[in-house]
Amino acid sequence: MRLYAIFGNPVEHSISPILHNFVFKHTGFNGCYTKVLVENGQGLKDIFLGLQIKGANITVPHKEWAYRLADEVLGIAKEIGAVNTWYNDNGKIIAYNTDAPGFYESVRNFNFKQVLILGAGGTAKAIALYFRHKGYEPVILNRSAKRLSYFLEKNFQAFTWDEFRNGSYDLIINTTSAGLSDNTLPAPKELLEKIFSQAQNAVDVIYNKETPFLKLANDMGLITKDGTEMLLYQGILANEIFTDFSIDKKRIESLMRRSLELVG
């Protein structure tokens, strides 16, 4: 049997094992996916190789360590500098970022040109670079200045709340953790109301809840989505890698969707 895992801290809330195990079970794939609490990111490689894990997802706060410790990084992850998926190729660690294409896939049915990203952390970097790769030029808006330097160096327009001059954006993406375990908005309410008054779509990467950000957007009549589809699509892409592309992608999607419905 092949062993798979999610590494993170905290990790107990993750529903990735349910998504992947459901696919394994219903396709007869001989695999099992579990959760491993990892406190020190530097130890990721020893755990992965020591337990002879075939594939892993890496979540907060270890995605940058996962990038540094990998033997080979493929695709857009090279530019992003953070990975969420490892594959064990006979002891060689091959790394990917499926968060960014997963997010992009989740908003493909929306109609948008101008994109505003709230937040400047790891998820914002991944989404901004991937959207640029797809021909968009997202603008970044963050609470504080420190994390903006990364975006400014890469020639993105990036602002703190105080510096921000209102433009017109079709798609607003919340990548901050505001609303994850508290009841806060990711930017001052008046600023968000101005931004939303010109926008059509709002998406939060936080999943399984209506955050204050999504509630305000819903109240103002925008079309909204939480992070469940991002979770789903990053999981589909990771599952394809884990199973050596041996399972049809549509089949993975329908099974993962069913498992999500079962867990509510």
Ligand X SMILES: NC(=O)c1ccc[n+]([C@@H]2O[C@H](COP(=O)([O-])OP(=O)(O)OC[C@H]3O[C@@H](n4cnc5c(N)ncnc54)[C@H](OP(=O)(O)O)[C@@H]3O)[C@@H](O)[C@H]2O)c1
- Per-residue interface string for the shown chain with ligand X, residues 49-88, x marking contact by CB under 6 A: -----------x----------------------------
- In the numeric block, the tokens 């990111």 are attached to 41
Give whichever of 73 and 232 is closer to ligand X, judged by the CB atom. Answer: 232
**Does the annotation mark 63 as catalytic?**
yes
Q: From the CB of 183, what's the least distance to ligand X, in Å?
A: 10
As beta bridge partners, residue 55 has 4, 87
Q: How big is the chain, counted in residues?
A: 264
Q: Is residue 178 a contact point for ligand X (CB under 6 A)?
A: yes
Q: Is residue 180 a contact point for ligand X (CB under 6 A)?
A: yes
Q: Is 149 exposed, middle or buried (0-12, 13-18, 19+ CB in 10 A)?
A: exposed
- Per-residue interface string for the shown chain with ligand X, residues 195-214, x marking contact by CB under 6 A: ----------xxx-------
Site for ligand X in 18-37 (CB under 6 A): none
Q: How far apart are CA 244 and CA 87, in angstroms?
A: 10
Are the CB atoms for 169 and 115 separated by under 8 Å? Answer: yes
Q: Which stretch binds ligand X (CB under 6 A): 49-57, 71-79, 170-178, 239-247?
A: 170-178
Q: Of 2, 26, 45, 147, which lies in the binding site for ligand X, with binding defined by CB under 6 A?
A: 147
From the candidates 35, 63, 125, 225, which is the catalytic residue?
A: 63
Are the CB atoms for 96 and 70 separated by under 8 Å? Answer: no
Name the phi and psi angles at 242, rounded to 5: -60, -35
- The dihedral of CA 80, 83, 85, 87: what is its sign? positive
Residues in contact with ligand X by CB under 6 A are 60, 99, 119-124, 142-144, 147, 175-178, 180, 184, 186, 205-207, 227, 230-231, 234
